[in-house]
Amino acid sequence: MEFLYKVRYAETDQMGVVHHANYLLYLEQARIEWLENKDIKYNELEKEGIMLPVYKIEIEYKKPLVFGESVKVQVQCSKAPDVKIGFDYKLLNPCDEVVAEAKVILVFMSAQTRKPIRCPKHVFEILTA
């Protein structure tokens, strides 16, 4: 699945290039929208006492993104979830050149105990259907 975002001026540094930390915002937004497209909503998970903190992030920057461009974010779940859920990303500029590739791993965690838990059954069933 892919999502398109406009690069905003506030996301760039003095050189007019998207600051490296802002790529995380694109990844997170695409992941949330990807889950919502599968009818899995973050706020509903949180109401159920399930949190999804980031465990690991890897980003390889290949080309700069600049103000005024759009960034296309392609995201997919990397494997069936268990205690962890992983996502693979490709970010492309308007010429469809890969500007970055990323991997993000989240952990299903109980909000009460702050300990890892298995992927909730209803989420697992949706993601493995």
Q: Is 96 a catalytic residue?
A: no
Active-site residue identified among 13, 82, 88, 96: 13
Token pair for residue 95?
């010429």
HEC letters along 48-104: CCEECCEEEEEEEECCCCECCCEEEEEEEECCCCCCEEEEEEEEECCCCCEEEEEEE
Catalytic center residues: 13
